[in-house]
Each structure stands twice: as C-alpha cells, then as structure tokens.
Structure 1
Amino acid sequence: MTDADKGTATADTPADEEREPLGPEDHTGDDLGTPGPRLSRRAPYLVGFLGGLGLLSAYAVGNAVWSIRSVLVQILVAFFIAAGLNPSVRFFERRGMRRSLAVLTVMILLLVAVALFLVAFVPVMVDQVKAISNSAPDWLDSLQRNRRIQQLNDDYQIIDKTKEYVTKGDFVSGIFGGALGVGLAVLGAVANMFVITVMTLYFLAGLDQAKNALYRLAPASRRDRVRKLGDRVIDGVGGYVSGAFVVALCAGVSSLIFLFAVGMGNYAVALAFVVALLDVIPMIGATIGAVIVTAIGFATDPTIGVICVIFYVVYQQVENYVIYPRVMSKSVDVPGVVTVIAALVGAALLGVVGALLAIPTAAALMMLTREVFVRQQDVS
C-alpha cells in the first residue's frame, strides 16, 4: 500500500472505535470459542440462592424492628398524643397565632395543668394511699369473721399472708425489686415521659410539613384524595384521644362526688384518680376501677359496698349509651364486635398501650377499607 493509499485510508476509513464489535459468528477456532447461553434465571440454584438472601434480609429487618420496639412504641404514643392535642393547636391558629406559637401555648397550658395537679392532688393521694394501706389489715380482719372465708384462710392462709405482706413497710418496694428497683423504675418512667414529650413537640410543630411530605409520595392524579383520607384519619385519631380524655374525666369527677356523698372522703381523691386512669382502657378499664372502689366500699361498710355496686352499674350504662356515643360520634365509628376484637389484638401485641391505640387504628382501617377497597369493588 502506497503512502497515498494510506492517506486515503486514514482520511476516508473510520477509526478503530467505529469498527463493529466482533460477534459470536466472527470467532474462529483459533480464539477462546463462542460464549454459551446465559444462565437461566429459573435455574434451581439461582432461585434458591436469591430466596435464601430474601429470607435472611427479612429476618435481619424483623430482628432490627424487634430490638427497637420500645422506641417504636414511644413514637406511636407521641404521635397519638400529638394528634389529640392538634385540635387545640388549630383552635389557637384560627385565632391568628402562628403554628409554632400555638404549639408552645398548648404545651405550656398542658404543663401548667399537670403541675397544678401534682401540687394539689398528689400529696392528698399519697396520704390516702397510706390510709388505705393502714386500714387494709382491719378490713382483712372483718373478712376473716365470715365463716366461709375463715375456712379458706385456715386451709390456704390467704388472709394471713396478705395481712403480713401489706403491713410490711417495704411492700411497695418489693413490687419493684427493692429500693434500687424503685429508683430505676422511676428513672425509666421519667426518661420515657421526657422522650415522649419531646417527640410530641416535634410532631405537633411539624405535623403539617410531615403530612405534606407523605402526601407528595402519592401520584399527582390521586394526591388530593390521599390528602383527604389522610386528614380524616388524623382528625379521627385526635378526636378519639380527646374524647377518651373527656370520658375518663367524667368518670373521675362522678366517682369523686359519689365517694364524698357516701362517706368515703378519706379515699375519694385517690380512688377517683384510679377510676379516671383505668377508664381510658377500653372494655375492661371501667370495670376494674369499679371493682376496686366497690371492694374498698365493702371493706369499709357492707352498706356502702352495695351502694357502690348500684352506682357503678348505673353509671356504666349511662357512660356506654349516653356519654361515650355523644363524645365519640364525630371521631370513630366502630361496631361493638370490632371494638372487642381490636382491643384484644392490641392488648396481645402491645399490652395496655396496644389496647388504648386499638380502637382509633381499627376505625382508620375501616374507613380506608370502605373508601378505597369497597368503592373500587363497586365500580369494577
């Protein structure tokens, strides 16, 4: 080839990078041979290997979630508290306050209310708990006069063991495993309350931003509907939390007035607080509170015990059919059987916290099922 031919080849022929890559048909026997077919994605070994990796990944994720379950419960409780306080924040926002200032106002009012409760009622409650502890041996002696109970005590020494346990000065510390256990339990409770309070503040302050960020994950064509459904769920949760507080407050105030009226003023504040606290627990909370008050009423005077039975039977009917439906009518719409099932499942999963959160969760799931799945089935 002459220099002219080389120049022509250089000018007219594409460079090496423009040459076609060699295909399988271009390989000769002098090369490494023609590549074989690709490994089938349905090969048993490959399927088993990828399936094993999936199982290991699922196990690792599940183990990680289980190890942080206490933190997840705190987050869940903080979210429900924030949802319950959100209507109060909106009340101040409608009066012209900024969101941050409204959140600060609500939290200050809440802390002031808690502080007033601690100052006004906790010392009285402590004294009344001591009075109940001091009176318990006398109550047990009065029970022991009953022939049937005396026979059971002779056989099993139930009353003697209970009296010995109650009269000990350290029976409260024994519940928690000694003085160190009491200190650790109190410290853990204070730490949990602090963490939940801080997370509640964050949820309240950034609730709108968090909702908008989640809603933007939905497709634009469905974003408006997702926003409306999400707002209804959050409003329902907030309404349930606020309503549960109102119902419990009614139970506590009613018990306080009743106990003063029947002559149990020495224990009225402590027992009314116990009734209000337990009334928050669905299904069984109000009954447990009534049983506690009635038992102390019988121990004080059988006539007072009978009056307690009548009062709480009547009050629970009023609460179940008058107070609760009126308070919760705009928040949750859950049939009775679903309420029972949800409370049982929630209690089995997360204990008391699960039972508290079960009903609004069930209401949200029922609403989403009705608005999404049932409507889709109706048009298909």
Structure 2
Amino acid sequence: MRDLPPDAMPASDVQGRARGARGGHADAAEVTDVLPALAAPSAARGRSSARTTASHARGAPSAAGDPADDRAPADLPYGMPGKPLARGPFLWGLTAALGVLTAWGLAQALVSSRSVIVLIVVAAFLAVGLNPVVEMLQRRGMSRRWAISVVFLGVIMLFALFGLAIVPPVGQETSDFLSAVPEYVESLSANPTIRQLDEDYKILANLQAYVTSGGLGTAVAGGILGAGAVVLNAFFSGFTLLVLTLYFLGSLPTIKEYLLLLVPASRRPRTRAIGDEILDGIGGYVAGNVLISVIAGGLSWLFLTVAGARYALALALVIAVMDLIPLVGATVGAVLVSAVGFLQSWPLGIACVIFFVVYQQVENYVIYPRVMSRSVDVAPAVSVIAALFGGALLGAVGALLAIPVAAAVALIVREVVLPRQARL
C-alpha cells in the first residue's frame, strides 16, 4: 500500500463526508420547502443590503423617506409608492388655504374685540399721563401706593363733578320740554299755516290716531330701552376704564422692566433712555392738554356766568371735555355752547360766538405753544396729519392719541434710524 501524502484523506472519510453533504443539502431543501415565506424576505433583504451598500459606495443619499423604496415588488402588492405629498401641489394649496383662514380668523377676532382694545389703549395712555403726578408725589415723600390712591381719587372726583354738573340740567330741560308739549300743540293749532295743512292732510287726526293706537308708546318704550342700554354700556365702559387705569398705574414700573428684558442686554441702557423720554413726552402731553382744557373751561365758566347764561357750569364742562380733542374739539364745543346761547337769547348767542372766536385765537397762538413746548416736539403739519389719521382710525380716541404717538415715532427715527443711515 502506497504511502499517502500528509494532506490526503482516506477514501472512507471522503465517502462519509460526501454522504453528509448530500444529507445537509436535503435538510436545507426541506427547510426551504417548509418556510418559503422566510426565504424570500431574507433574499430581498440581502439584495436590499447589496443595493444600499452600492448606493453608499456611489455617494448617493440615504434611502430613508425616498419614494423609491428598496423593497422587492413581491413585498408591495399595490405597487411602488409615489412621490411624497410634501412636494405636491395639493398639500401646498391646503397649507396656503389654512394660512389664509388663520389670518382671516385673527383679523375677525381683532375687529370683534376692537372696543376692548380701545379701552386698553386709552387706559394705558391715561396711566402714562398720570404717572408724572404720581412720581411728583413720590418725590415729596409719599409712597407710590398712597400717591396712586390720591391721584385716582382726584380722577373719580372729576368724573363725579362732571356727572353732577351735566345730569341735573339735562333732566330739568327734559322735564320742562315735556311740560311744555301741550302749549306747543296749542300754538301749532292756532297757526294759520298749520291749520290749513291739517285741513288738507289731516295731520292732527293722524297724529292722534297714532298716539291712541299704541304705536307711540311702543316707539317711546323702545327708545327708552335703547337709551338705557347706551347709558349702561357707557357706565360699564367708564368703570372698566377706571379699573384698567388703576392697574396700569400701579404696575407701570414692572411693565417697563419686563419689556426691557425682551431687548438684548447690550442695548438695554439706550432703549431705557429712549423709552423714558417717550413716556415723559406722553405724560407731558397729557398734563399739558388737561391744563389747556382746564383753562378753557374756567374762562368759559367765568364768561357764561357774567353773561347770565343758564347752566354755566355744565356748559363750561362741555367746553373743557371737548377741548381735549385736538384740532376740532374746541370748535365743536364752541358751536354747541353757542347754539344753547342762541336758544336762550339772541344777544347771548352772539356774545358766545364773539368770545369763543377770540379765545380760540389766543389758545392756538399763545396758550398752546407755551404749554406744549416742553412736552412734545412735533411739527404743526405732522400734528395735523397724525390727528387726521388717528381720527379716521379710532375716532376721537385716535385723534387724542395721534400727536404723542407721532412724537414717539419722530424720536425713534431721530435717535435710531438716522444715525444708522449715517453710518452706511
């Protein structure tokens, strides 16, 4: 028997291993037949891994989120997925429509809450205007809480004085008018022209039928309810305004510090200085405007008392309140008071017209420039334009707020925008 090389294997071992290999192939075939569902995914995963590896080797992006998913068609019975909706026109249009609806909803919410926004703005404006008085009392040794209480009590007394001066004359005039209605009817009946019109068109008969049918009572009741609703709404708005002003006045330093925290730390000193100057300008404007109104009301009361007008105090308060509105307030107040003067007597009405024309010239060219020279620095043309825009947007409240807002914008432009433009 020949000697075998060291790596040679006996024939018996070779045959045994061949039988084992055939047995192993048979076992694998049985397993494959039993578990066909597991064999295909394994092959698919193998092919997917191979393609992913090849894709990475070529520098292609990752297949995560790719519409061409690396799965075999056998795993996707409904076909390969299409492009994602993020790039399609449908999702873009849906997003744009939702954005438009959201903006429209916010606009409707702002319009619906316009009255509340106006109350908040006016309360903040009054708080800023009353703050210099509070700080003046603080400098004289009074705590801020007591200073706010004193100032707020003075504001309430002014409101009460205005109500006491206006309500009794209005009530008395209404009562006198109702008492004089029968005399007016008799005078109309005795007038030849009215008698002829009544004979032609049956005016008095139709009026009597309207009164007795209950239509007049329904109209009067509706008018009374409407007037009561207006008065109640005005009372509620005034009370809300006072409460908001009190809260703003008490927390004004805290609000200022909180708003400064929203500014970068490197810009806080400059922002604080500009903000303090703006607040001082608004406070000076409010104080100056109130002082001018007090002067107008005081001189009007003195003139009306000397001229013998009835309800001189109420008419003077009307002048003072209307004078708070820039540009047109003084003129409107003068027209109203002059009309009341003409109703009392022609000489009194003519005297009222002469007095208010002369006084408005003095106020416009003497009093107003001297009082406002230390509070706001706004060109006359800018003041007129700002008042017109403010009145168009928010009515009398907008006209009242327009001038200090214009002064604040002018200050920001002068201190921020112009230096930045100069450095470019």
Q: 2:393 aligns with which of 329, 336, 349?
A: 349
Q: What SS is found at the alignment partner of 2:265?
A: coil
Contact 2:300–2:316 (Cα < 8 Å) also in 1: yes
Q: 1:364 aligns with which of 385, 408, 411?
A: 408
Once the two structures are TM-superposed, the CA of residue 228 in structure 1 deviates from its matched residue by: 1.2
- Tell me how far apart the structure 1 counterparts of residues 179 and 331 of structure 2 sit (CA, whole Å): 23
Going from structure 1 to structure 2, the CA distance change for 1:62 and 1:132 (only over 3 Å counts) comes to same
In the other structure, the counterpart of 2:352 is: 308
Fraction of identical pairs, as percent:
47
Q: What SS is found at the alignment partner of 2:293?
A: helix
In the other structure, the counterpart of 1:147 is: none
Normalised TM-score (structure 1):
0.75
Q: 1:32 aligns with which of 68, 71, 87?
A: 71
2:197 aligned with 1:197, yes or no? no
Once the two structures are TM-superposed, the CA of residue 320 in structure 1 deviates from its matched residue by: 0.7
Going from structure 1 to structure 2, the CA distance change for 1:129 and 1:339 (only over 3 Å counts) comes to farther
- Per mean C-alpha deviation after superposition, the further-off stretch among 209-218 and 357-366 is 357-366
2:339 aligned with 1:286, yes or no? no
2:253 aligned with 1:208, yes or no? yes
Q: What SS is found at the alignment partner of 2:395?
A: helix
Contact 1:129–1:267 (Cα < 8 Å) also in 2: no
Once the two structures are TM-superposed, the CA of residue 41 in structure 1 deviates from its matched residue by: 8.3
Going from structure 1 to structure 2, the CA distance change for 1:268 and 1:174 (only over 3 Å counts) comes to farther
In the other structure, the counterpart of 2:286 is: 241
Q: Residue 233 of structure 2 aligns to which amino acid in structure 1?
A: G
Q: For 1:231-271, what per-residue CA distance to the aligned partner results, in whole angstroms no more than 9, with x for missing partners?
A: 1222211221121111111111111111122232x132222
Aligned pairs for 1:313-324 (under 5 A) are: 313-324=357-368
Contact 1:176–1:182 (Cα < 8 Å) also in 2: no
2:115 aligned with 1:70, yes or no? yes
In the other structure, the counterpart of 2:151 is: 106
Going from structure 1 to structure 2, the CA distance change for 1:79 and 1:25 (only over 3 Å counts) comes to same
Going from structure 1 to structure 2, the CA distance change for 1:269 and 1:125 (only over 3 Å counts) comes to farther
- Tell me how far apart the structure 2 counterparts of residues 345 and 287 of structure 1 sit (CA, whole Å): 19
Q: What SS is found at the alignment partner of 1:221?
A: helix
Gaps of 5+ in 2: 1-48, 56-67, 73-79, 185-192, 198-206, 208-215
Q: What SS is found at the alignment partner of 1:238?
A: helix
Q: Residue 371 of structure 2 aligns to which amino acid in structure 1?
A: V
Going from structure 1 to structure 2, the CA distance change for 1:288 and 1:39 (only over 3 Å counts) comes to same
Contact 2:162–2:317 (Cα < 8 Å) also in 1: no
Going from structure 1 to structure 2, the CA distance change for 1:123 and 1:305 (only over 3 Å counts) comes to closer
Q: What SS is found at the alignment partner of 2:118?
A: helix
Once the two structures are TM-superposed, the CA of residue 174 in structure 1 deviates from its matched residue by: 7.9
- Tell me how far apart the structure 2 counterparts of residues 269 and 30 of structure 1 sit (CA, whole Å): 88
- Tell me how far apart the structure 1 counterparts of residues 404 and 262 of structure 2 sit (CA, whole Å): 24
Q: 2:298 aligns with which of 253, 262, 277?
A: 253
- Tell me how far apart the structure 1 counterparts of residues 82 and 54 of structure 2 sit (CA, whole Å): 15
Once the two structures are TM-superposed, the CA of residue 296 in structure 1 deviates from its matched residue by: 3.3
Going from structure 1 to structure 2, the CA distance change for 1:279 and 1:217 (only over 3 Å counts) comes to same
Going from structure 1 to structure 2, the CA distance change for 1:127 and 1:43 (only over 3 Å counts) comes to closer
Contact 1:176–1:185 (Cα < 8 Å) also in 2: no
Contact 1:332–1:363 (Cα < 8 Å) also in 2: yes
Going from structure 1 to structure 2, the CA distance change for 1:116 and 1:299 (only over 3 Å counts) comes to closer
- Tell me how far apart the structure 2 counterparts of residues 325 and 133 of structure 1 sit (CA, whole Å): 43
Going from structure 1 to structure 2, the CA distance change for 1:62 and 1:320 (only over 3 Å counts) comes to same
Q: Which has the higher contact order (CA 8 A, sep 6+)?
A: 1
Aligned pairs for 1:25-174 (under 5 A) are: 25-26=52-53, 31-32=70-71, 48-116=93-161, 118-119=163-164, 121-122=165-166, 125-126=169-170, 129-130=173-174
Q: Residue 107 of structure 2 aligns to which amino acid in structure 1?
A: G
Q: Residue 307 of structure 2 aligns to which amino acid in structure 1?
A: V
Q: What SS is found at the alignment partner of 1:97?
A: coil
Going from structure 1 to structure 2, the CA distance change for 1:27 and 1:111 (only over 3 Å counts) comes to same
In the other structure, the counterpart of 1:6 is: none
Gaps of 5+ in 1: 1-21, 141-149, 155-163, 165-170
In the other structure, the counterpart of 2:375 is: 331
2:313 aligned with 1:269, yes or no? yes
Q: Residue 81 of structure 1 aligns to which amino acid in structure 2?
A: L
- Tell me how far apart the structure 2 counterparts of residues 240 and 302 of structure 1 sit (CA, whole Å): 38
Report how many residues are paired: 329
Contact 1:128–1:267 (Cα < 8 Å) also in 2: no
